[in-house]
Amino acid sequence: MIHAKIKNGEVFPLLDEDRREFEKIFPDGNVVLNSDNCPEVAEAIEKFSAEALIERKDLYRRLGNFD
């Protein structure tokens, strides 16, 4: 886990250890969070996917009742 703060759209690691980890994960300094490098993003994707599936399931069921 990297501890950082965001100011004016830029990410600043808080400690030297965080900076080293940050540079390892984002060598060009371009921060792109995804499900591989951010568990919170993975969790949000799973949650939204489950909600969308439930919504679509009902929609598809209703559409299937039309001839």
Tens digit of each residue's pLDDT (9 = 90 or more) over 5-28: 888 888 889 999 999 999 998 899
For residue 30, name the pLDDT band (cuts at 50, 70, 90): confident
State which H helix or E strand residue 37 sits in: none
What are the pLDDT digits (tens) for 34-56? 888 888 889 999 999 999 888 88
Q: Are residues 28 and 44 part of one domain? A: no
Please tell me the distance from the alpha carbon of residue 67 to that of residue 60, in angstroms, as a whole number.
13
Name the token pair of 62: 């209703």
Q: Do 41 and 55 share a domain, yes or no?
A: yes
Query: Do 6 and 21 lie in a common domain?
Result: yes
Domain that holds residue 6: 1-32
Q: Which helix (H) or strand (E) holds 12?
A: strand 10-13
Whole-number pLDDT of residue 21: 92
Q: Where are the beta strands (DSSP E) in the chain?
A: 4-7, 10-13
